[in-house]
Amino acid sequence: MKLRRKRVVFAAVAVLVIVLVIIVLALLPPEDPREASARRLIAVLRGPSGFRGWLIKLGVLQQPPERRGPVLTASLLADMGQPAVPACIRALRDDDWRIRYCAVEALRQMDPVPTQATPALIQAMKDENSDVRSSAAGALGGIGRAAAPAVPALIDALSDKESAVRGLAARALGGIGQEAKPGVRALMRGVKDKEWFARREAVQALGKMGPVAKEAGPVLEGALKDEDEAVRCAAAWALAKLGLPNKGLPVLIAGLEGESAWLRGWVARRLGEVGPPAKAAIPALTKALKDQSKDVRKAAAEALKKIQAAPTTHKATSEAWGQPLKYKIRGGI
């Protein structure tokens, strides 16, 4: 009799537990189907695992059709946006570097880059794979000022063995702005990096920080003589951001004779934004009206109008230097 009672009690408890589980599941918000899709995309990239993967290796089962690579998968995840963020953050802890790279690259491509991914991206800056580290730095740069907790990790990355990581870490520090002041000294060393891309990004980062990087003035003046014209023009822009536009004006004017049409156009637009204080550039801009590039001719014409316009206030002139130099890294990085 006692045994029977125990069975009845046990069955009642089991039913109660099942009912409670059903109620809890019913009260939970329905899962976004896009979150499930994100997990499936990552699972497909990972491929068969466990017993099924072992059977495929033995030849008992056939290998599934060719999977999408990490680059395409990252693009698809990025298009999903916010619903894919949790799956990407979890994937950053995966043992397979391809999965980690796919996840961090998806986060980097999202617009905007999700700020809740900052802690995971900071950890990714220590990844053994350089592609993962560089994409993590790029993603932190996309977050901007909200990525301030990443400043120590980004400063450490300025000493990375890979130039792409060093350059993108510098860019991220520049995007964080004045709160990245602890990185000024490291960025000053970066201005003398052996790779042009890392040098250019260090120069621009100091410019973005503005007055808090005032001590970098002499180093930036030295960069005006850099062997790379992009670095020289970036240094001229950075000096203007630090309140020393006259130091870099001759270099910007020389940039109108550069080999790159993109750079010539960028220089012309920056000179136009400076306005009347850039009158010394009028002859070079007039010559640029005959440039082979339509974009350069248009930029030069607009610059001449602004320079020959009524004088602007000092505040407006200093704000005119507000756009950093951005163009693709050579080598397709």
CB 41 within 8 A of CB 102: no
State the residue range of the domain holding 123.
116-223
In order of 82, 92, 151, 268, the CA distances from 121 in angstroms are: 16, 8, 12, 37
Question: Which residue, of 81, 111, 141, is where some domain finishes?
Answer: 111
User: pTM score > 0.85 for this model?
Assistant: no
Q: Domain for residue 21, yes or no?
A: no
Residues 206 and 255 reside in one and the same domain: no
CB 330 within 8 A of CB 197: yes
CATH of the domain at 300: 1.25.10.10
C-alpha 16/C-alpha 110 separation (Å) is 45
Residue found under tokens 């536009």:
245
Residues 144 and 127 reside in one and the same domain: yes
* DSSP assignment of 54-81: HHHHHTSSPPPSPPPPHHHHHHHHHHH-
Residues 216 and 228 reside in one and the same domain: no
Question: Which residue, of 93, 111, 129, is where some domain finishes?
Answer: 111
The 10s digit of each residue's pLDDT in 89-104 is 999 999 999 999 999 9
Residues 126 and 212 reside in one and the same domain: yes
C-alpha 304/C-alpha 330 separation (Å) is 31
The 10s digit of each residue's pLDDT in 152-193 is 999 999 999 999 999 999 999 999 999 999 999 999 999 999
| Tally of domains within the chain | 3
Distance of CA 4 to the CA centre of its chain: 67
Question: Which residue, of 111, 127, 149, is where some domain finishes?
Answer: 111
* DSSP assignment of 121-160: HHHHTT-SSHHHHHHHHHHHHHHGGGGGGGHHHHHHHTT-
Q: Domain for residue 97, yes or no?
A: yes
**Average pLDDT score over the chain:** 83
Q: Domain for residue 332, yes or no?
A: no
Residues 75 and 149 reside in one and the same domain: no
Residues 300 and 251 reside in one and the same domain: yes
Buried b (16+ CB within 10 A) or exposed e, 281-310: beebbeebeebeeeebbebbebbbebbeee
The pLDDT-based confidence of 3 (bands split at 50, 70, 90) is: low
Tell which residue, 279, 277, 253, 278, has the closest CA to residue 267.
253
What residues contact residue 167 under an 8 Å CB cut-off, 6+ apart? 195, 197, 198, 200, 201, 202, 329
pLDDT for the residue 275: 78
The 10s digit of each residue's pLDDT in 28-38 is 555 566 677 88
Q: Domain for residue 23, yes or no?
A: no
Residues 178 and 251 reside in one and the same domain: no
Tell which residue, 200, 332, 173, 178, has the closest CA to residue 266.
200
Residues 106 and 151 reside in one and the same domain: no
Q: Domain for residue 24, yes or no?
A: no
